[in-house]
Amino acid sequence: QQPVQSPQAVILREGEDAVINCSSSKALYSVHWYRQKHGEAPVFLMILLKGGEQKGHEKISASFNEKKQQSSLYLTASQLSYSGTYFCGPSVGSQGNLIFGKGTKLSVKP
């Protein structure tokens, strides 16, 4: 029931790109993405609704393939501030709670 995120961890140099994947065993209505920095609360990045849309936020974008029940988060030209743990949270309906993945720890080094 919990979505599967991959990779579990990734280390980047500033300016490098990364992709974080999220797969669900259930048909999805939407997918949320959040970033949590150490010692802080998760912060909402974006939500993708079914329809295969792709959204962007700064140099962070995401795609959602409802047929494959998958979403991917793309981080391009990474910055030090991108470091943190990224969580995906799929939703099976327009109401209800999110069941989050275990998270992907991203570390960006100078």
Partner 1 sequence: GAGVSQSPSNKVTEKGKDVELRCDPISGHTALYWYRQSLGQGLEFLIYFQGNSAPDKSGLPSDRFSAERTGGSVSTLTIQRTQQEDSAVYLCASSLRPGVYGYTFGSGTRLTVV
Q: By the criterion CB under 8 A, which residues form the site for partner 1?
A: 29-30, 32, 34, 40-47, 49, 87, 89, 91, 93-103
In whole angstroms, the minimum distance from the beta carbon of 62 to partner 1 comes to: 13
> Residue 1 in contact with residue 97, Cβ under 8 Å?
no
Using CA atoms, how far residue 60 sits from 20, 64, 78, 82, in Å, is 11, 14, 9, 9
Residues 79 and 99: their CA atoms lie apart, in Å, by 28
Nearest partner of 32 among 14, 44, 20, 23, judged by Cα: 44
Place of tokens 């047929």: 67
In whole angstroms, the minimum distance from the beta carbon of 15 to partner 1 comes to: 28
In whole angstroms, the minimum distance from the beta carbon of 43 to partner 1 comes to: 7
Report the residue number, 8 or 17, with the smaller CB distance to partner 1: 8
In whole angstroms, the minimum distance from the beta carbon of 108 to partner 1 comes to: 19
Report the residue number, 16 or 102, with the smaller CB distance to partner 1: 102
Report the residue number, 16 or 100, with the smaller CB distance to partner 1: 100
DSSP state, residue 81: G
